[in-house]
Amino acid sequence: MLSLQRLDPDHATELLRFERENRAYFARFISDRGDDYFATFAARHAELLAEQAAGLHHLHLLIDDNGAVLGRFNLIDVTDGTADLGFRMAEHAAGRGLATRTVGEICELARTAYGLHRLFAGAHLENLGSRTVLRRNGFRPTAEITVAGRPALHHVLDLSPTADPGSPSHGAA
């Protein structure tokens, strides 16, 4: 059984393994984290946990029965009821609907547990998988942007209870 877990100190070893094993796969769709990320992983992990404790982020991992990380699902830069959503799935777990389902869970947590009313997300144009996940969860593209020198789409999801499900920024696709 899969479980969505809030990032904690005990996840460090498995999370580093996940990032290393999937580095080349991730780089096909998003900017590579660079060698420094891996060299300073322990310090960065501790920093993220401190930022999470301060309420700046809500960081989650999708974990399988064996304790392996299958995906990361993060709400970052939490401010004034909004946050940016970022996610990545292990290559062997992609294409099975897990990201779509887990992003839905994260959106519900954002609304109910974290009190957020709007989420933002970016996805490179060539990353059809991520754009599909976002749209299936009600995110709507709002603008073309550039992320790390590559064309992308900015998306928004309105989580407020008064949002019109038929509006361009809310509702399932």
Q: What number is the average pLDDT over the span 81-94?
A: 96
| Domains (range + CATH), the chain | 3-158 (3.40.630.30)
Is residue 140 over pLDDT 80?
A: yes
Give the three-class secondary structure for 103.
Answer: helix
Q: What does the alpha-carbon distance between residue 102 and residue 119 come to, in Å, rounded to a whole number?
A: 15
Joined together, the tokens standing for residue 17 give 């393994």
Q: What does the alpha-carbon distance between residue 110 and residue 123 come to, in Å, rounded to a whole number?
A: 19
Type of residue at 100:
T
Instruction: Quickly state the pLDDT bin for 152 (edges 50, 70, 90).
Output: very high
List beta partners, residue 3: 63
Joined together, the tokens standing for residue 118 give 């709007």
For residue 168, what pLDDT is reported? Answer: 43
Query: pLDDT tens digits, residue range 107-129?
Result: 999 999 999 999 999 999 989 99
H helices of 3-53, where? 12-21, 23-27, 35-39, 41-53
Q: Which of 27, 49, 45, 29 is nearest to 37 (CA)?
A: 45
Instruction: Quickly state the pLDDT bin for 150 (edges 50, 70, 90).
Output: confident
Query: pLDDT tens digits, residue range 31-87?
Result: 778 888 899 999 999 999 999 999 999 999 999 999 999 999 999 999 999 999 999
